Amino acid sequence: MALKNYDARRDQLVMETKTYWSEDIAKELSEEDKALIATAIHRSPELAEQVEYERTHTGFTRIITVTVNDLERLYEQRV
């Protein structure tokens, strides 16, 4: 079962993370930018609009698909 939004309770049990990119930004970002953004969004997963949790043997994997709106929220948080 995968949830489509942030869940604080399940997030406490996250053991792994994965990051995907929406089509509208995937080609516009360098690999370095993607690495920095992925780190930032996983530090604040409540800012992401597409968060899923997949059950694993040891907890959950958090999967975030980064969108333009997520980038805007990250930028606003940093400014």
Q: How far apart are CA 59 and CA 40, in angstroms?
A: 22
Residue by residue, pLDDT tens for the chain (79 residues) are 444 789 999 999 999 999 999 999 999 999 999 999 999 999 999 999 999 999 999 999 999 999 999 999 999 988 6
3-state SS assignment for residue 39: helix
Tell me which DSSP letter residue 28 carries: T
pTM equals 0.89
> Which two structure tokens, joined as six digits, stand for 37?
């953004």
Q: How far apart are CA 74 and CA 6, in angstroms?
A: 15
- Residues for the chain: how many in total? 79
pLDDT in tens, 20-35: 999 999 999 999 999 9
Q: Determine contact, residues 65/21, Cβ cutoff 8 Å.
A: yes
